[in-house]
Amino acid sequence: MAELAAPPEAGIQAEQRIAVATQWQLMWWRFRKHKLALAGTLVLIGFYLVAVFAEFLAYVDPQESDAQRSLIAPQSIHWSDDGRFAPYVYGLKGTRDPVTFKRVYVPDTSKKVPITFFGRGEHYQFLGLIPMDRHLFAVEDAKVAESLFLMGTDTQGRDLWSRLMYATRTSMTIGLVSVALSLVLGVVLGGISGYFGGVIDTIIQRIIEILRSIPTIPLWMGLAAALPGDWSVVQVYFAITIIISLIGWTELARVVRGRFISLKEEDFVMAAELVGCSKARIIFRHMVPSFISHIIAATTLAIPAIIISETSLSFLGLGLRPPAISWGVLLQDAQNIQALVISPWLLIPSFAVIVAVLAFNFMGDGIRDAADPYL
């Protein structure tokens, strides 16, 4: 405790500060001490910024394919030219290997392509509203689609960097949408179960137990395979979120129920009842504020599981399907082990998955510790 080491006056001040701090302030102070959780939070903010600014960060249309540009390796960027900061890449010459007939690309050292920041590129609608054509990366005197490959290209010659930006948007939001659905189900059912108890509680608890003892992936596969093939990208997206959250709500319900049961016995709830508060007021004014932090923690910890589920399903070809772009869809290209050995950069999206899941876990752990002073 830093406060204890401080001189006495400062200690008293700190104590007074703690005495008048709100619940959220106290939580924030505890959370702040958890360095990993803070780091995780920063990483996640970064991820969601990518999700918002995907069009700006991508420099080409993620769907634009060209057989002439398939499986280009990530380019190395040369950061300085003649000692000053002027990043550039070399142009690429595509040729056929006379022996294997594979396409090979060699850097054309005579052709320097300077990279500029915030330059003009393809037109897009920022947030679907504001027409813009500025991108984080652009190149001078060349077509960007033909010269810039920060993370290489896939088998169809689509730029992996740009696709990864859009995939981040899909995968990060699918977690949010799905967890929101699970949250509604979990809070309502868990709340009912915990507050009323009795037969309803038993029934809901048995349903949860049954759902938890079913292997989820075969079930998801079955449900996802049943989605009509002619559905649009958006329809499939929402269907998948619903399928995932239908099974994912049980953990949240368990947390909510546990909190309800333990709070029901608290003196302040009893006091509120004696004063004659209505049920709704007791629940929403007295009980919910004291366990909302636990719900936030449980929710945060539920998101990574959802991201992994979506990625796994899409990887199998049963989740989101092209032209939708998500991390799982990108990783489908990495299924073939031979292809992977020749072009290992196809595995790059997996780092995004791992980092995002780790960050969520760290942040969730931090929130949980901060929310519960007794642990």
Partner 1 sequence: MLAYIVRRLLLAVLTVWAISVLSFIIIHLPPGDYVTSYIASMSASGSAVSEGEAKALREQLGLDKPITIQYMKWMGLMLQGNFGMAMEWGRPVTDVIGDRLTLTVVISLAAIVFTWALALPIGIYSAVYRYSFLDYLFTFVGFVGLAIPGFLLALIVMYVGFAWFGANVGGLFSPEFAEAPWSFAKAWDLTKHLPIPAIVLGVAGTAQLIRIMRSNLLDELRKPYVVTARARGLPEYRVIMKYPVRVALNPFISTIGYLLPYVVSGSIIVSLVLSLPTVGPLLLKALIAQDMFLAGTIVLLLGVLTVVGTFLSDLLLMWVDPRIRLGRE
**Interface residue list for partner 1 (CB under 8 A):** 206, 209-210, 212-219, 221-223, 225-226, 228, 304, 308, 311-312, 315-318, 331, 334-335, 337-338, 340-341, 344, 347, 350, 353-354, 357-358, 361-362
Q: Which CB, 292 or 340, lies closer to partner 1? A: 340
Q: How far is CA 144 from CA 59, 120, 165, in A?
A: 7, 10, 16
Q: Which CB, 52 or 221, lies closer to partner 1? A: 221
CB of 34 to partner 1, least distance (A): 13
Contacts of 51 (CB under 8 A, 6+ apart): 168, 169, 172, 173
CB of 213 to partner 1, least distance (A): 5
CB of 340 to partner 1, least distance (A): 5
Q: Which CB, 5 or 341, lies closer to partner 1? A: 341
Q: Which CB, 121 or 248, lies closer to partner 1? A: 248
* Helix/strand/coil for 38: helix
CB of 307 to partner 1, least distance (A): 9
Q: Which CB, 56 or 315, lies closer to partner 1? A: 315
* Helix/strand/coil for 125: strand
Give me the long-range contacts of 16-25 (CB less than 8 A, separation at least 24). 23/289, 23/293
CB of 236 to partner 1, least distance (A): 14
Give ∠ CA 224-218-329 in degrees, rounded to 5: 50
Question: 56, 115, 124, 112: which is closest to 85 by C-alpha?
Answer: 115
Q: Which CB, 109 or 338, lies closer to partner 1? A: 338
Structure tokens at 226: 């049943």
Cα(309)–Cα(10) distance, rounded to whole angstroms? 50
CB of 243 to partner 1, least distance (A): 11
Q: How far is CA 158 from CA 108, 112, 164, 169, 357, in A?
A: 21, 22, 11, 17, 26
